[in-house]
Chain A
Amino acid sequence: MSHSGKVLVAGLGSPHGDDQAGWLVAELLLKKASGTLGVSEAQDENLMPESSRHLFQDVVVRRALIPLDVLDWLEGVDVLHICDACESTPGYWKLHRSTFEADRFVNPNATGDVALHSTLNSLRCRGSHNFELPDVLRLAATTRLLPKRVIVWAIEGTCFHPEDVLSDMTRNAALQAADEILKELRLSHA
C-alpha cells in the first residue's frame, strides 16, 4: 500500500459528557495502536505510553481544547483527521465520516457547499474570538496551511453539559471511530 504522507489526527472536545468523544478517539487510537502502529508524537499528558512513539514517524495524534489549537499543528501535514462530537440525529448510525478536499474550505458560502456546511455545523467543539472549527479550517485553507485532504469523524452525542457523563452510545461510536481510523492508517502506512 502506498504511503499517504504525514497524518494528523486531532480529537476535539471538552470534559463535558459526550463532548469527550473527540478526546476519547485520540486516546483509544493511541492505546490500540501501541505496538502495532507507530505514533510519532503524543502531546497530551494523559495520552500515549512512551513505548508507542517512533515506530512510525508520520502519524501524530493530539487532543485539542479549542479549534484554534489545530491551526498550530498543520505544518507539513498531508492528511487531517478531525474527530469531534456532534448532535444526535434520528436513525441507527451514530458515527459519520466525511472527506473534503482543502479547496472546498476556501469559500464554502460562495460555492454553496451544503455537505460541508451541514457536517461542520453539526460539530460541537466551540471556539473563542469567533473562531469555530469552520472558521479555523477556512483560515487554514486561505493561508494554504490546510492539508489537501480533511476527513471529519462526527460522533453523535446527547448530553454535553458540565457533570454529564459519557453515554454508552457515544463511547461505542468513539470506539468504532478509533477502529476505523486505525484500519485506514494501517492500510496507508503499513
Chain B
Amino acid sequence: MAQTRTIKVEALTRVEGEGGLHVRLNGNAIEEVQLSIYEPPRFFEGFLRGRPLEEVPDITARICGICPVAYQMSAVHALELALGVSISPEIRRLRRLLYCGEWIESHGLHMHLLQAPDFFNVASGIELAARFPHEVTRGLKLKKQGNELLEVLGGRAIHPINVAVGGFYRAPQKDEMQKLIPAFEWGLQAAIDATRWVAGFEFPDFERHYEMISVCHPDEYPMNEGRIVSTSGLSIDVSEYEETFAEHHVAHSTALHSLRTSDQSSYHVGPLARVNLNREKLCETSRRVADEVGFITPCFNPFKAIIARGLEVIHAFDEALTILRDYKPFKPSRIPYEHRAGEGCAATEAPRGLIYHRYQVDDQGKVVLAKIVPPTSQNQRQIELDLVDWLPRVLCDDDQRTADECERLIRSYDPCISCSTHFLKLTVDRGGSSDGEPR
C-alpha cells in the first residue's frame, strides 16, 4: 500500500520575509511541491497610483531593505523613458556605482551569513563565525563597505534618499568619494579571497537544464540597461518583456509566478544567469579568479550561485574603484524635465536577479499605472521544479533532514520574500491512505 507523506516547512529560515514549503509524497514518488509565500500582499503597485512620479523612487525603495537600489534604479529608468529624459554620462556612472554598493552589501551578507552555513552543516552565520572567524569577519567587513558606499551616495545605507528621476538630488563631493578608496582597495582583495574560499566548498552534483535569463549590455556587465537574453537564445528589447513573460496567480502563494508566455515554462534569474550570459564582460580580475577556481560556464548548478556572487563582488569593487578614482563633481546632478503623459519600462539587475518596472504617467506628473515584477516571483516556479529533482536525492526517513536539504536549495537562490525571504521550520504529517490511492 502506497503511503502518503507530507513534509512541511512552516517558515523558511535565513531568507528575507515569510514563506514555507509543502511537499507531498506517495511512497517515494513526489506528488506536489509548493513553495508558499504567505506574507500578506503589500499592494505597492496600488499605492503608487495617483502619486506624484517624483515619489516613486522613495516609495519603491521601501519594498526591500536589502535591495532598495534595484527598485529605485528600475523606477527612475522607466519613468525617464516615459518623460523623454536623457541622463548624462556622469549620472549614469554614479548610478552604476550605487548599484555596485548594493551588490556588495547584499552578496556579502548572503555569501557569508546566509548560504555559507549550509556547506558546513551549521544552523547560522553565528555558528559559522565560531568556526571561521576570519572569513566571516571579512564577509561582514565587505558588507560594511557596500553600506558605506550607499551612505555616501544614497544618503543612507537602507532605503537611500538621494535618488531622483533625472539623476541625484545631490552629487557627492570629491573628498567624500576619495575617502572610500583605501577601504575599497582592501575590499577588492578581500572579495578575491572570499571567492576563492567559497569556490572551495563541496558542492552537490546537481546540474539542471533550464533557461537562464538576464539583462545583457553590449559593452558592460549588466546592471541598469540592456536587452533581455537567455541561455536558450532569447534576445528581446525590454519593451517586449510583458509579451514574453507573464505573471500568474497560484493558490498557495501571495507572490505571483512569472512564466514564459510561449510555453508556460519557468526560468532562472540571478547572479548565475548573469555570469553565464555575460562572463566576458566581467572585469579582468573576476575572469582571472573564475579561471583560477575552475568555474566553468555555463553553469547550471544553483548551489554554485555563491561563486557567481563572489565574482560579482570582485567586479563591483573593481568597477567602483575605477569610478571613485575618476570622480569629479558635476552639474547638474539632476536633469530637468517637464511633465507629460507617457509610458516607460525598464529592466535592471537586482542582486538576486532581473527586475522589471513599467509606469504610465499623466500630464500632471501623476502615476496612472505601475507594474513591478521582482526577481523572486520569477524564480519561484523554478525553485519548485528544482525541488522536484532535488528531493529524490535527499529524501530520507528523517523529515527534518529532508527539509533542511530543501531549504538549502531554496536559499541558494537568495529569495527575498518581502520583495519575496527567512528560514524554514518543519512539521511532518505522516499517514497511510486506506485505499492505497494518493490523497
Contacts and interface: CB of A to CB of B under 8 A. Distances in A.
A139 B65 CA distance: 20
B388 interface: no
B158 A45 contact: no
Given A72-B143, A72-B147, A128-B16, A145 B422 contact: no
B155 interface: yes
B15 A139 contact: no
A135 B126 CA distance: 8
Given A45-B156, A128-B16, A143 B65 contact: no
B44 to A, nearest CB: 15
Contact of A43 (B15, B16, B151, B422): B151
B155 A45 contact: yes
A129 B124 contact: no
Interface residues of A, number: 20
Contacts of A94: none
A138 interface: yes
B124 A135 contact: yes
Interface in A26-44: 43-44
B296 interface: no
B60 interface: no
B129 A69 contact: no
B156 A143 contact: no
B13 interface: yes
A120 to B, nearest CB: 14
Contacts of A71: 140, 144
A147 to B, nearest CB: 15
Contacts of A128: 16, 65-66, 418, 422
Interface string A39-77: 000011100000000000000000001101101100000
Contact of B156 (A44, A68, A138): A44
A167 interface: no
Q: Which of A66, A129, A131, A145 has the most CB of B within 10 A?
A: A129
A69 B157 contact: yes
Contacts of A43: 151, 156
A139 B123 CA distance: 13
B125 interface: yes
Interface stretch (B29-37, B130-138, B190-198, B284-292): B130-138
A102 B401 CA distance: 34
A130 B422 contact: yes
Contact of A142 (B13, B109, B130, B151): B130
- Report, as a range, how many residues of chain B touch the other chain: 20 to 34
A144 interface: yes
Contacts of B304: none
Interface in B116-171: 124-126, 129-130, 133, 136-137, 140, 143-144, 147-148, 151, 155-159, 161
Interface string B385-421: 0000000000000000000000000000000001001
Contacts of A129: 14-16, 66, 109, 113-114, 421-422
B423 interface: yes
A138 B156 CA distance: 25
A41 to B, nearest CB: 12
Contacts of A66: 65, 158
A130 B14 contact: yes
Nearest to B13: A130
Contacts of A45: 155-156, 161
Nearest to B109: A129
B158 A65 contact: yes
Interface in B54-113: 65-66, 109, 113
B129 A143 contact: yes
Given A44-B156, A128-B66, A129-B422, A139 B147 contact: no
Interface of A: 43-45, 65-66, 68-69, 71-72, 128-131, 135, 138-139, 142-145
The 3 closest A-B pairs by CB, nearest first: A72-B144, A142-B129, A143-B137
Given A139-B126, A142-B133, 18 more contacts: A65-B158, A69-B158, A71-B144, A72-B140, A72-B144, A72-B147, A72-B148, A72-B157, A129-B109, A130-B13, A130-B422, A139-B129, A142-B126, A142-B136, A143-B133, A143-B140, A144-B137, A145-B137
